[in-house]
Amino acid sequence: MLEISFNSPQCGWMSIGFSDGVNEFHTTTAHSPHETALSDLMRILTAIASEGGNPTGSEGVDSSEHILKWNRDPEEFDFHFLRSGDDLTIEIYQYPTDERDAAERELVYSYTGPTAEIVRAFGETFDRLYEDRETDEFEFNWRQPFPHREFSAFKSVTDKVK
């Protein structure tokens, strides 16, 4: 069973982790330069939970595959989501610099499981962030607003995921 943690942000940084009982991945992510990473993640997962909808609205985008860019500074990450039928694969690639040279990237985490399980795991994490946002002074510590609109859209489709 996949467990995901996004800990309360501190000084523009957030600790995140993925654990599936066999493999683990933990890192910190920064609020910039990918300022929309958290809201983009919610949009991607909303699209995935909506049976593949297109989070960008761009024509010609394959709705079964999504890439989220995030960073730790100077390292960069790609969170690659690939939906195949009822399964979803998450691959996290790390680049040593912001140049994002594909020849130098390293696969640091991979997990494949039922889409509903993965969406629920992210949902539990987002719920905790939302519930603790005022206590943790989310906006001050993350240095940007909580993505309320994206969180609400995500919540509206996750109840439908079986």
Largest CA distance in the chain: 42
Q: What is the pLDDT of residues 36-87, one digit of tens each?
A: 999 999 999 999 998 654 444 444 444 589 999 999 888 999 999 999 988 9
- Going from the C-alpha of 41 to that of each of 10, 15, 67, 93, the distances in angstroms are 19, 15, 9, 15
Round the CA-based radius of gyration of the chain to a whole number and report it. 15
**Which domains occur in the chain, in start order?**
3-158 (3.30.2450)
How confident is the model over 152-161, as pLDDT tens digits? 999 999 876 5
Tell me the mean pLDDT in the region 16-25.
Answer: 97
Task: Give the burial class of 98: count Cβ atoms within 10 A of its Cβ; 0-12 exposed, 13-18 middle, 19 or more buried.
Answer: exposed
pLDDT at 17: 97
User: What is the tens place of the pLDDT at every residue in 115-143?
Assistant: 999 999 999 999 999 999 999 999 999 99
DSSP helix/strand/coil, 33 = coil
pTM summary value: 0.89
Q: How far is CA 33 from the centre of its chain?
A: 16
